Amino acid sequence: MEKQSHSIQDILLENFKASIYSHFYEKDGYYALYHSLYMNLLYVKKDAFDVFCKIKSGVRTREIINSHKYINKEAVIDTIKLLYENNLIVNSSDKESILNKENLSNISIDIQIMYLILTDKCNLNCKYCFIENAIDNNHLHESMSIDNLKKSVDLFDKLSLDNKENRTIILYGGEPLLNKDTLKKGICYIRESLKDVKINLITNATEISREDAAFFRDYSIDVSISIDGLESINDSARVFLNNKGCFKNIIKGYNNLKLEKVPNIGASITLGSHNIVNLKKNIEQLIKYFDFNSIGFNFLVDFTSVHLKKEIVL
Protein backbone atom coordinates (compact mmCIF):
# COMPACT_ATOMS: atom_id res chain seq x y z
CA MET A 1 0.00 0.00 0.00
CA GLU A 2 1.31 3.46 -0.95
CA LYS A 3 2.03 5.48 2.21
CA GLN A 4 1.82 9.23 2.36
CA SER A 5 5.12 10.73 3.48
CA HIS A 6 4.76 12.65 6.73
CA SER A 7 6.72 15.84 7.42
CA ILE A 8 7.86 16.68 10.96
CA GLN A 9 5.01 19.17 11.12
CA ASP A 10 2.50 16.48 10.13
CA ILE A 11 3.87 14.12 12.75
CA LEU A 12 3.49 16.76 15.45
CA LEU A 13 -0.10 17.43 14.46
CA GLU A 14 -1.08 13.85 13.77
CA ASN A 15 -2.19 11.30 16.32
CA PHE A 16 -1.56 7.67 15.70
CA LYS A 17 -2.73 4.36 17.06
CA ALA A 18 -1.32 0.86 16.77
CA SER A 19 -2.65 -1.07 13.79
CA ILE A 20 -5.03 -3.85 14.76
CA TYR A 21 -2.70 -6.12 12.75
CA SER A 22 0.50 -5.25 14.63
CA HIS A 23 2.00 -7.80 16.97
CA PHE A 24 5.25 -7.89 18.87
CA TYR A 25 7.70 -10.37 20.26
CA GLU A 26 10.62 -9.72 22.61
CA LYS A 27 13.85 -11.69 22.76
CA ASP A 28 17.13 -10.78 24.43
CA GLY A 29 16.39 -7.08 24.59
CA TYR A 30 15.31 -6.81 20.96
CA TYR A 31 11.75 -6.41 19.82
CA ALA A 32 10.23 -7.74 16.65
CA LEU A 33 7.20 -5.81 15.43
CA TYR A 34 5.14 -7.65 12.88
CA HIS A 35 2.19 -6.77 10.65
CA SER A 36 0.15 -9.93 10.26
CA LEU A 37 -1.44 -8.98 6.93
CA TYR A 38 1.37 -7.23 5.08
CA MET A 39 3.79 -9.65 6.75
CA ASN A 40 6.46 -6.98 7.25
CA LEU A 41 8.82 -7.31 10.15
CA LEU A 42 10.77 -4.60 11.92
CA TYR A 43 13.37 -5.22 14.63
CA VAL A 44 13.83 -2.39 17.10
CA LYS A 45 15.57 -1.69 20.39
CA LYS A 46 13.77 -0.96 23.65
CA ASP A 47 13.47 2.83 23.30
CA ALA A 48 11.82 2.54 19.91
CA PHE A 49 9.58 -0.20 21.23
CA ASP A 50 8.58 2.11 24.12
CA VAL A 51 7.48 4.71 21.56
CA PHE A 52 5.32 2.05 19.88
CA CYS A 53 3.83 1.07 23.29
CA LYS A 54 3.04 4.68 24.13
CA ILE A 55 1.22 5.10 20.80
CA LYS A 56 -0.56 1.80 21.40
CA SER A 57 -1.74 2.97 24.82
CA GLY A 58 -3.15 6.19 23.33
CA VAL A 59 -0.50 8.77 24.31
CA ARG A 60 -0.62 11.74 21.92
CA THR A 61 2.27 12.15 19.48
CA ARG A 62 3.22 15.63 20.69
CA GLU A 63 3.42 14.41 24.29
CA ILE A 64 5.69 11.54 23.30
CA ILE A 65 8.04 13.78 21.36
CA ASN A 66 8.14 16.40 24.11
CA SER A 67 8.66 13.84 26.86
CA HIS A 68 11.78 14.61 28.94
CA LYS A 69 12.71 10.98 28.58
CA TYR A 70 13.89 11.51 25.01
CA ILE A 71 16.83 13.83 24.45
CA ASN A 72 17.07 13.04 20.76
CA LYS A 73 13.67 14.26 19.50
CA GLU A 74 14.60 13.66 15.85
CA ALA A 75 15.17 10.00 16.56
CA VAL A 76 11.68 9.79 18.12
CA ILE A 77 10.21 11.41 15.01
CA ASP A 78 12.17 8.99 12.80
CA THR A 79 10.85 6.10 14.85
CA ILE A 80 7.26 7.28 14.43
CA LYS A 81 7.81 7.71 10.68
CA LEU A 82 9.28 4.23 10.40
CA LEU A 83 6.43 2.65 12.37
CA TYR A 84 3.97 4.47 10.14
CA GLU A 85 5.73 3.51 6.89
CA ASN A 86 5.62 -0.11 8.01
CA ASN A 87 1.87 0.14 8.76
CA LEU A 88 2.50 -0.79 12.39
CA ILE A 89 0.81 2.43 13.44
CA VAL A 90 -1.97 4.20 11.54
CA ASN A 91 -3.72 7.57 11.80
CA SER A 92 -6.03 7.53 14.81
CA SER A 93 -9.05 8.09 12.55
CA ASP A 94 -8.10 5.17 10.28
CA LYS A 95 -10.66 2.38 10.59
CA GLU A 96 -8.37 0.08 8.58
CA SER A 97 -11.65 -0.79 6.93
CA ILE A 98 -10.07 -2.05 3.70
CA LEU A 99 -8.45 -4.73 5.81
CA ASN A 100 -11.47 -5.62 7.90
CA LYS A 101 -12.42 -9.24 7.57
CA GLU A 102 -15.77 -8.49 5.97
CA ASN A 103 -14.09 -6.42 3.25
CA LEU A 104 -11.21 -8.77 2.64
CA SER A 105 -13.15 -10.57 -0.05
CA ASN A 106 -13.35 -7.28 -2.02
CA ILE A 107 -9.60 -7.04 -2.41
CA SER A 108 -8.65 -8.23 -5.86
CA ILE A 109 -5.98 -10.72 -5.05
CA ASP A 110 -5.87 -14.17 -6.51
CA ILE A 111 -4.63 -16.72 -4.03
CA GLN A 112 -3.83 -20.18 -5.35
CA ILE A 113 -1.98 -21.77 -2.44
CA MET A 114 -2.98 -21.88 1.20
CA TYR A 115 -0.93 -23.30 4.06
CA LEU A 116 -2.92 -24.54 7.04
CA ILE A 117 -0.86 -24.75 10.20
CA LEU A 118 -2.79 -27.53 11.92
CA THR A 119 -0.76 -27.21 15.11
CA ASP A 120 2.52 -25.78 16.33
CA LYS A 121 3.14 -28.94 18.37
CA CYS A 122 5.67 -31.50 17.22
CA ASN A 123 6.89 -34.87 18.43
CA LEU A 124 10.31 -34.22 16.88
CA ASN A 125 12.92 -31.63 17.60
CA CYS A 126 14.85 -31.38 14.33
CA LYS A 127 18.06 -29.53 14.95
CA TYR A 128 17.43 -26.87 12.31
CA CYS A 129 13.68 -26.46 12.66
CA PHE A 130 12.63 -22.84 12.21
CA ILE A 131 9.32 -23.49 13.86
CA GLU A 132 10.06 -25.64 16.88
CA ASN A 133 13.34 -23.88 17.67
CA ALA A 134 11.70 -20.48 17.55
CA ILE A 135 9.25 -21.47 20.26
CA ASP A 136 10.04 -20.49 23.86
CA ASN A 137 9.89 -23.04 26.69
CA ASN A 138 6.92 -21.24 28.22
CA HIS A 139 5.01 -21.09 24.90
CA LEU A 140 1.48 -22.48 25.05
CA HIS A 141 1.03 -24.68 22.02
CA GLU A 142 -2.03 -24.14 19.89
CA SER A 143 -3.92 -26.33 17.48
CA MET A 144 -6.35 -25.28 14.79
CA SER A 145 -10.03 -25.92 15.49
CA ILE A 146 -12.26 -27.38 12.79
CA ASP A 147 -14.27 -24.14 12.83
CA ASN A 148 -11.18 -22.08 12.01
CA LEU A 149 -10.16 -24.55 9.34
CA LYS A 150 -13.60 -24.29 7.71
CA LYS A 151 -13.48 -20.49 7.81
CA SER A 152 -10.01 -20.53 6.21
CA VAL A 153 -11.18 -22.84 3.44
CA ASP A 154 -14.24 -20.65 2.75
CA LEU A 155 -12.06 -17.53 2.61
CA PHE A 156 -9.55 -19.29 0.34
CA ASP A 157 -12.41 -20.17 -1.99
CA LYS A 158 -13.47 -16.51 -2.16
CA LEU A 159 -9.92 -15.23 -2.65
CA SER A 160 -8.95 -17.61 -5.43
CA LEU A 161 -10.49 -15.97 -8.43
CA ASP A 162 -9.02 -17.62 -11.52
CA ASN A 163 -7.73 -21.06 -12.33
CA LYS A 164 -9.69 -22.67 -9.56
CA GLU A 165 -8.47 -26.02 -10.84
CA ASN A 166 -4.84 -25.10 -9.97
CA ARG A 167 -5.46 -24.48 -6.31
CA THR A 168 -3.47 -26.26 -3.62
CA ILE A 169 -4.00 -26.54 0.11
CA ILE A 170 -0.92 -27.52 2.08
CA LEU A 171 -1.45 -29.20 5.43
CA TYR A 172 1.47 -28.12 7.56
CA GLY A 173 2.66 -27.64 11.15
CA GLY A 174 4.37 -28.40 13.59
CA GLU A 175 3.41 -31.95 12.88
CA PRO A 176 -0.06 -31.93 11.28
CA LEU A 177 -0.78 -35.50 12.40
CA LEU A 178 -0.69 -34.34 16.03
CA ASN A 179 -4.05 -32.68 15.32
CA LYS A 180 -5.58 -35.70 13.63
CA ASP A 181 -9.18 -34.88 14.45
CA THR A 182 -9.13 -31.48 12.71
CA LEU A 183 -6.88 -32.88 9.97
CA LYS A 184 -9.34 -35.59 8.98
CA LYS A 185 -12.54 -33.58 9.49
CA GLY A 186 -10.86 -30.74 7.59
CA ILE A 187 -9.94 -32.98 4.65
CA CYS A 188 -13.58 -34.17 4.46
CA TYR A 189 -14.75 -30.54 4.50
CA ILE A 190 -12.30 -29.47 1.78
CA ARG A 191 -13.36 -32.34 -0.47
CA GLU A 192 -17.06 -31.54 0.09
CA SER A 193 -16.75 -27.81 -0.53
CA LEU A 194 -13.99 -27.23 -3.12
CA LYS A 195 -13.74 -28.86 -6.51
CA ASP A 196 -10.41 -29.87 -8.05
CA VAL A 197 -8.25 -28.60 -5.21
CA LYS A 198 -4.97 -30.43 -4.63
CA ILE A 199 -4.27 -31.34 -1.02
CA ASN A 200 -0.66 -31.83 0.01
CA LEU A 201 0.23 -33.10 3.46
CA ILE A 202 3.75 -32.29 4.64
CA THR A 203 4.67 -34.61 7.47
CA ASN A 204 7.54 -36.18 9.34
CA ALA A 205 5.68 -39.50 8.72
CA THR A 206 6.35 -40.85 12.21
CA GLU A 207 2.66 -40.88 13.19
CA ILE A 208 1.07 -42.39 10.06
CA SER A 209 -0.89 -45.53 10.93
CA ARG A 210 -2.33 -47.92 8.37
CA GLU A 211 -5.78 -46.46 9.01
CA ASP A 212 -4.46 -42.93 8.37
CA ALA A 213 -2.82 -44.12 5.16
CA ALA A 214 -6.09 -45.62 3.91
CA PHE A 215 -7.84 -42.34 4.69
CA PHE A 216 -5.23 -40.34 2.74
CA ARG A 217 -5.66 -42.70 -0.23
CA ASP A 218 -9.46 -42.43 -0.15
CA TYR A 219 -9.31 -38.63 -0.11
CA SER A 220 -6.53 -38.34 -2.74
CA ILE A 221 -4.00 -36.66 -0.50
CA ASP A 222 -0.47 -36.16 -1.85
CA VAL A 223 1.88 -36.98 1.00
CA SER A 224 5.32 -35.35 1.25
CA ILE A 225 7.60 -37.03 3.74
CA SER A 226 10.36 -34.91 5.24
CA ILE A 227 13.52 -36.98 5.15
CA ASP A 228 17.10 -35.80 4.69
CA GLY A 229 18.88 -38.97 3.59
CA LEU A 230 19.40 -42.54 4.72
CA GLU A 231 19.57 -43.37 8.44
CA SER A 232 22.86 -41.84 9.57
CA ILE A 233 22.35 -38.60 7.62
CA ASN A 234 18.68 -38.21 8.43
CA ASP A 235 19.22 -39.02 12.11
CA SER A 236 22.01 -36.48 12.46
CA ALA A 237 19.38 -33.75 12.13
CA ARG A 238 15.86 -35.16 12.38
CA VAL A 239 15.51 -36.33 15.94
CA PHE A 240 12.95 -36.86 18.70
CA LEU A 241 13.01 -34.78 21.89
CA ASN A 242 15.39 -37.37 23.43
CA ASN A 243 17.78 -36.84 20.50
CA LYS A 244 17.05 -40.27 19.02
CA GLY A 245 16.88 -40.26 15.22
CA CYS A 246 13.51 -40.84 13.55
CA PHE A 247 14.55 -42.78 10.41
CA LYS A 248 13.11 -46.12 11.62
CA ASN A 249 9.81 -44.42 12.45
CA ILE A 250 9.70 -42.81 9.01
CA ILE A 251 10.03 -46.28 7.49
CA LYS A 252 6.95 -47.46 9.44
CA GLY A 253 4.86 -44.52 8.21
CA TYR A 254 6.18 -44.94 4.66
CA ASN A 255 5.39 -48.69 4.68
CA ASN A 256 1.83 -47.99 5.85
CA LEU A 257 1.38 -45.55 2.96
CA LYS A 258 2.72 -48.13 0.49
CA LEU A 259 0.61 -50.96 1.94
CA GLU A 260 -2.49 -48.83 1.49
CA LYS A 261 -1.37 -47.85 -2.04
CA VAL A 262 -1.33 -44.10 -1.54
CA PRO A 263 -0.54 -43.02 -5.12
CA ASN A 264 1.54 -39.88 -4.55
CA ILE A 265 4.29 -40.10 -1.97
CA GLY A 266 7.10 -37.58 -2.26
CA ALA A 267 10.24 -36.78 -0.31
CA SER A 268 10.95 -33.32 1.02
CA ILE A 269 14.67 -32.95 1.66
CA THR A 270 16.03 -30.07 3.68
CA LEU A 271 19.52 -29.23 2.48
CA GLY A 272 22.16 -28.35 5.04
CA SER A 273 25.70 -29.16 6.09
CA HIS A 274 24.53 -32.64 7.18
CA ASN A 275 23.63 -33.79 3.66
CA ILE A 276 25.03 -31.34 1.12
CA VAL A 277 28.44 -33.05 0.88
CA ASN A 278 28.00 -36.00 -1.50
CA LEU A 279 24.46 -34.82 -2.20
CA LYS A 280 24.19 -36.72 -5.49
CA LYS A 281 25.19 -40.00 -3.82
CA ASN A 282 22.82 -39.35 -0.89
CA ILE A 283 19.90 -38.78 -3.22
CA GLU A 284 20.74 -41.80 -5.36
CA GLN A 285 20.76 -43.96 -2.20
CA LEU A 286 17.44 -42.52 -1.10
CA ILE A 287 15.86 -43.17 -4.51
CA LYS A 288 17.13 -46.78 -4.44
CA TYR A 289 15.77 -47.41 -0.97
CA PHE A 290 12.37 -45.74 -1.33
CA ASP A 291 9.93 -45.55 -4.18
CA PHE A 292 9.15 -41.83 -4.12
CA ASN A 293 7.08 -40.22 -6.89
CA SER A 294 8.80 -36.89 -6.47
CA ILE A 295 11.58 -35.18 -4.56
CA GLY A 296 11.51 -31.57 -3.41
CA PHE A 297 14.17 -29.52 -1.66
CA ASN A 298 14.12 -26.89 1.07
CA PHE A 299 17.12 -24.63 1.40
CA LEU A 300 18.00 -24.35 5.05
CA VAL A 301 16.96 -21.07 6.59
CA ASP A 302 19.25 -20.41 9.51
CA PHE A 303 16.81 -19.88 12.36
CA THR A 304 19.62 -18.95 14.78
CA SER A 305 20.58 -15.75 13.04
CA VAL A 306 18.09 -13.03 13.74
CA HIS A 307 19.45 -10.20 11.64
CA LEU A 308 18.54 -6.69 12.52
CA LYS A 309 16.86 -5.35 9.42
CA LYS A 310 16.54 -1.88 10.79
CA GLU A 311 17.95 -0.84 14.10
CA ILE A 312 16.98 2.35 15.78
CA VAL A 313 19.01 3.83 18.58
CA LEU A 314 17.46 6.80 20.33
Ligand X SMILES: C[S@@+](CC[C@H](N)C(=O)[O-])C[C@H]1O[C@@H](n2cnc3c(N)ncnc32)[C@H](O)[C@@H]1O
Q: Considering only residues 190-219, where is the footprint of ligand SF4 by CB under 6 A?
A: 204
Residue 228 found at the interface with ligand SF4 (CB under 6 A) = no
> Do strands 22-27 and 30-35 pair parallel, antiparallel, or not at all (unpaired)?
antiparallel
The C-alpha atoms of residue 41 and residue 34 are separated, in whole angstroms, by 5
Burial 79-88 (b: 16+ CB within 10 A, else e): bbbbbbebbb
We find the least distance from the C-beta atom of residue 208 to ligand SF4, in angstroms, to be: 13
Q: Is 171 in the site for ligand SF4 (CB under 6 A)?
A: no
Smallest gap from Cβ 124 to ligand SF4, in A, equals: 4
Q: Which of residues 57-96 bind ligand SF4 (CB under 6 A)?
A: none
User: 223 pairs with which residues across the strands?
Assistant: 201, 265
| 236 counts as binding ligand SF4 under rule CB under 6 A | no
Distances from the Cα of 171 to the Cα of 81, 111, 126, 176, 222, angstroms? 38, 16, 19, 7, 10
Q: Where does 86-131 have alpha helices with state H?
A: 101-104
d(CA 211, CA 259): 11
DSSP code of residue 179: G
Comparing CB distances to ligand SF4, the nearer of 173 and 186 is 173
Report yes or no: 88 and 52 within 8 Å, Cβ to Cβ.
yes
Looking at the Cβ atoms of 30 and 303, the one nearer to ligand X is: 303
Angle at 300 between CA 294 and CA 303, to 5 degrees: 140
Please identify, using beta-carbon distances, which residue of 48 and 205 lies nearer to ligand SF4. 205
Q: Is 49 in the site for ligand X (CB under 6 A)?
A: no
Q: How far does CA 80 lie from the centroid of its chain?
A: 28
* 41 secondary structure, DSSP code: E
Q: How many residues bind ligand SF4 (CB under 6 A)?
A: 13
The reply to whether 126 sits near ligand SF4 by the rule CB under 6 A is yes
75 lies in the site for ligand X, by CB under 6 A: no
* Of 105 and 297, CB closest to ligand X: 297
Q: Which range in 18-26, 126-134, 181-189, 192-200 contacts ligand X by CB under 6 A?
A: 126-134
122 binds ligand SF4 (CB under 6 A): yes
Task: For the CB of residue 108, give the shortest distance to ligand SF4 in the complex, in Å.
Answer: 34
Residue numbers at the binding site for ligand SF4 (CB under 6 A): 122, 124-126, 129, 131-132, 173-175, 204, 226, 238
Residue numbers at the binding site for ligand X (CB under 6 A): 122, 128-131, 172-173, 175, 202-204, 226, 268, 270, 298, 300-301, 303
